[in-house]
């Protein structure tokens, strides 16, 4: 490639959304020239990149940015560590494969905020269907697609029903004791190529400058898909961002966009480990009795439970009556402790993930300099609002009650096992009767993000309803950074269909 390379569309970031958009544009009838620029390398020769869940062994490797946050006052001044995919495939290389849409009310709120029904639940539906190749007994053809590129199955339908975890029924029964019932219901790819910034002439984006100074011109558009941390950095280095930050780093202002980098949201969560009374019964992965090959064919989990706040807490936080049914937290039972410090994977422990679905705390991302090689400054500000604190404490208590105090699970579980290791001295086991203060303290000392970051170039604030960066021309963002609000699912089940819809909008403008 020479410094005079030109494409119709430049897609910056070959992660989950960028790969999809680049491929849809290049398959479109006008066959535009599309260049996809990815800072990381092509991992396809690496066997850990191809198997299901084998990507977990790549955490901390060359395929992971391993960013660190600033110390967070609300979480005992801890520095949080961020796994973020740096490779063709982005986060999809490292992620756990969980496929969980948000509630319809969450999408409807998004549509209302930005004033466009295409981002509502009904607006999303065609794109959900286009994304999925869904397999489950009794799948609803209005809700699910059956010939899309993403192969998705429910745990109970997987492996012809063979992926049946031994604790499935006691956990379901435990939730039912707590009153929770199931729902019835032509292209170029350049890897190792980091984009420094977008170039403009009179506010019209016309190309990018790479980390080594080479330039690529775009005849039509530049589309940034560099993720919740990468996209705001590129915008700021390009002169689109808060003037205070641009001035501090000597960057010429192309467009003052104060919201770039703010509104950072993630699903703050706490993982808990629980020791089983009799490991020989094979309830947890790592035990000799855990033999059925079907159990290894996916993340070993069951019963994703989402819940609203109880009435008294909803009242305390002045949640309006029509919003009181919104699901604010999620609890998942995992039959393997997922990297909880000091907890062995030897069949002695199961675990839970208890997560805020609609956190109200917001953090921010900014640059440390105008140098593309410098990592960003991340201030996550987790657990900052009283609503987030009360919700996660309540959800953690629900989790403790399920595992330790229901007739179904109590006889199976011996106790909660606190994590151990550096900075974790003095943690006592939590019980179903632990005080709110003890639960809050544990959350502050061990809570973590769920790798679900978004919001840093939010629709309605930074980009319009078709992903176009407001205030400049021919520049879009089309990744997790544009999510205006947290959604109560896990992101990829939304990001693929979102990218499909955005790709169709770009193709419509060709
Ligand atoms: C460990 C882990 C587990 C997860 N588990 C799940 C799960 O089970 N279910 C779920 O739904 N979600 C999960 N996620 C989240 C999901 O993977 C992300 O939400 C998703 O990948 C975000 O997509 P994106 O396109 O916005 O960004 P990414 O997929 O992160 O892609 C951004 C890409 O841009 C590239 N880039 C950044 N800066 C530049 C630059 N300057 N120049 C060129 N390229 C650049 C990056 O290298 C990266 O490849 C998980 C994530 C992680 C890290």
Band of residue 4 on the pLDDT scale cut at 50, 70, 90: low
What pLDDT was estimated at residue 250?
A: 97
Q: Is the pLDDT of residue 186 over 60?
A: no
Domain ranges of the chain: 5-97+186-264+452-508, 172-184+268-356+392-446
pLDDT for 185 beyond 50: no
State the DSSP H helix or E strand holding residue 450, giving kind and residue range, or none if neither: none
CA angle (383, 387, 390) in 5-degree steps: 80
Q: Mean pLDDT lowest for which of 133-137, 148-152, 327-331, 436-440?
A: 133-137
- What is the C-alpha to C-alpha distance for residues 94 and 89, in angstroms, rounded to an integer? 9
Q: What is the mean pLDDT of residues 391-417?
A: 98
Bigger pLDDT: 154 vs 284: 284
Contact 480, 458 (CB under 8 A): no
Q: What is the pLDDT of residue 299?
A: 85
Q: Rounded CA gap, 431 and 364, in Å?
A: 35
pLDDT at site 119 = 98
- List alpha helices for 334-385, DSSP H: none
Angle at 510 between CA 116 and CA 462, to 5 degrees: 40
pLDDT interval class at 109 (50, 70, 90) = very high
- The verdict on whether residue 173 carries a ligand-binding annotation is no
CATH class entry, domain 172-184+268-356+392-446? alpha beta
**Helical ranges in 137-225 per DSSP H:** 168-177
9 lines ligand 1 (CB under 6 A): no
Pull the structure tokens for residue 301. 């989990």
What is the Cα–Cα distance from 472 to 199, expressed in whole angstroms? 11
Per cent of the chain over pLDDT 90 is 83
Please report which confidence band the pLDDT of residue 491 belongs to, taking 50, 70 and 90 as the band edges.
Answer: very high
Q: Which residues, 6+ apart, have CB-to-CB distance to 61 below 8 Å?
A: none
Measuring CA to CA, which residue among 186, 5, 189 is closest to residue 88? 189
Instruction: Assess whether pLDDT exceeds 90 at residue 439.
Output: yes
491 assigned to a ligand binding site: yes
Task: Verify whether ligand 1 is closer than 6 Å to residue 12 (CB atom).
Answer: yes
Residue 2 has a pLDDT of 43
pLDDT at 246: 98
Residue located nearest, by CA, to atom 17 of ligand 1:
91
Q: Is 14 in the pocket of ligand 1 (CB under 6 A)?
A: yes
Distance between CA atoms of 354 and 228, rounded to whole angstroms?
23
Compute, in angstroms, the gap from residue 464 CA to the centroid of ligand 1: 22
Quick check: 200 pLDDT over 60?
A: yes
Beta-carbon contacts of 247 under 8 Å, excluding residues fewer than 6 positions away, are 253
CA separation, residue 166 to residues 113, 169, 176, 282, 343 (Å): 44, 7, 17, 7, 21
Write down the pLDDT at residue 1. Answer: 44
Please give the Cα distance from 398 to 463 (Å, whole number).
39
Q: Rounded mean pLDDT of 346-358?
A: 97
- CA pair distance 382, 265, nearest whole angstrom: 8
CB-facing half-sphere around the CA of 151: CA atoms within 13 A = 4
pLDDT given at position 52 = 67
Give the C-alpha distances (Å, rounded to integers) separating 27 from 16, 150, 186, 408: 17, 18, 7, 53
Average pLDDT, integer, range 7-20: 97
| Average pLDDT of the segment spanning 146-160 | 88
Q: Is 195 in the pocket of ligand 1 (CB under 6 A)?
A: yes
Which atom of ligand 1 is closest in space to residue 481's alpha carbon? 26
Q: How far is the CA of 58 from the centre of ligand 1 (A)?
A: 14
Give, using CA atoms, the residue closest to atom 48 of ligand 1: 90
Q: What pLDDT, on the 0 to 100 scale, is given for residue 156? A: 82
Report whether CATH 3.90.1170.40 matches the domain 5-97+186-264+452-508. Answer: no
Residue 227 and residue 15 in contact, taking contact as beta carbons nearer than 8 Å: yes
* C-alpha to C-alpha distance for 448 and 75, rounded to whole angstroms: 9
- For residue 161, the model assigns a pLDDT of 83
pLDDT score recorded for residue 89: 94
DSSP state of 41: B
- pLDDT band of 54, cuts 50, 70, 90: confident
Tell whether 242 is in a known binding site. Answer: no
Q: From the CA of 500, how far away is ligand 1's center (Å)?
A: 16
Active site residue 255: no
Q: Is the CB of 43 under 6 A from ligand 1?
A: no
pLDDT score of 187: 57
User: Average pLDDT of 263-269?
Assistant: 98
CA angle 131, 137, 138 (to 5 degrees): 85
- CA-CA distance, 220 to 204, in Å (whole number)? 10
Residue 183 pLDDT level (bands cut at 50, 70, 90): low
Ligand 1 geometric centre to CA of 82 (Å): 11
Of 61, 85, 301, 375, best ligand 1 pocket probe by most atoms within 8 Å of the beta carbon: 85
Is 491 touching ligand 1 by the criterion CB < 6 Å? yes
Mean pLDDT across the chain: 94
Check residue 47 and give its pLDDT: 83
Establish whether residue 497 lines the binding site of ligand 1, counting it when its CB lies within 6 angstroms of any ligand atom: no
| pLDDT over threshold 50, residue 324 | yes
- Identify whether 490 is a catalytic site residue: yes
């Amino acid at each position: 490639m020479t410094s005079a390379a030109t494409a119709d569309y430049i897609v910056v970031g070959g992660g989950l959304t960028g790969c999809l958009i680049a491929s849809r544009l290049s398959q479109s009838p006008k066959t535009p020239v599309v260049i996809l620029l990815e800072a990381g390398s092509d991992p396809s020769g690496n066997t850990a990149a191809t198997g299901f869940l084998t990507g977990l062994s790549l955490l901390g490797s060359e395929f992971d940015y391993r960013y660190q946050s600033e110390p967070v006052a609300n979480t005992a001044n801890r520095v949080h560590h961020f796994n973020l995919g740096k490779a063709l495939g982005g986060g999809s290389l490292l992620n756990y494969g969980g496929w969980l849409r948000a509630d319809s009310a969450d999408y409807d709120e998004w549509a209302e905020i930005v004033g466009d029904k295409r981002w509502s639940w009904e607006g999303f539906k065609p794109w959900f269907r286009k994304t999925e190749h869904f397999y489950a007994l009794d799948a609803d053809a209005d809700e699910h697609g059956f010939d899309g590129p993403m192969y998705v199955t429910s745990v109970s339908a997987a492996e012809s029903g063979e992926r049946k975890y031994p604790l499935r029924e006691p956990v379901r029964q435990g939730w039912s004791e707590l009153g929770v019932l199931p729902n019835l219901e032509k292209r170029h790819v350049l890897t190792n190529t980091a984009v420094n910034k977008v170039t403009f002439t009179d506010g019209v984006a016309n190309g990018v400058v790479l980390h080594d100074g080479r330039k690529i011109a775009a005849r039509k558009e530049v589309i940034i898909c560099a993720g919740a941390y990468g996209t705001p950095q590129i915008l700021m280095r390009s002169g689109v961002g808060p003037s205070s930050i641009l001035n501090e780093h000597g960057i010429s202002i192309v467009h003052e966009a104060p919201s770039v980098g703010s509104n950072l949201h993630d699903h703050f969560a706490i993982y808990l480990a629980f020791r089983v009374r009799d490991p020989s019964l094979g309830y947890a992965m790592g035990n000799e009795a855990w033999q059925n090959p079907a159990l290894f064919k996916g993340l070993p989990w069951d019963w994703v439970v989402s819940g609203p706040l109880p009435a008294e807490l909803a009242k305390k936080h002045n949640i309006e009556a029509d919003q009181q049914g919104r699901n604010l937290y999620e609890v998942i039972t995992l039959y393997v402790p997922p990297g909880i410090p000091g907890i062995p994977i030897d069949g002695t422990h199961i675990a839970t993930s208890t997560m805020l679905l609609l956190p109200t705390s917001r953090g921010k991302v900014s640059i440390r300099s105008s140098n593309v090689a410098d990592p960003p400054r991340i201030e996550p500000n987790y657990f900052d609002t009283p609503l987030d604190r009360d919700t996660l404490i309540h959800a953690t208590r629900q989790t403790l009650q399920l595992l330790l105090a229901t007739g179904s699970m109590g006889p199976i579980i011996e106790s909660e096992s606190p994590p151990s290791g550096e900075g974790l001295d003095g943690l006592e086991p939590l019980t179903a009767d632990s005080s709110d203060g003890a639960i809050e303290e544990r959350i502050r000392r061990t809570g973590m993000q769920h790798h679900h970051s978004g919001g840093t170039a939010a629709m309605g604030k930074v980009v319009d309803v078709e992903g176009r960066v407001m205030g400049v021309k021919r520049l879009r963002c089309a990744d997790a950074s544009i999510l205006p609000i947290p959604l109560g699912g896990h992101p990829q089940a939304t990001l693929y269909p979102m990218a499909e819809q955005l790709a169709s909008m770009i193709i419509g403008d060709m």
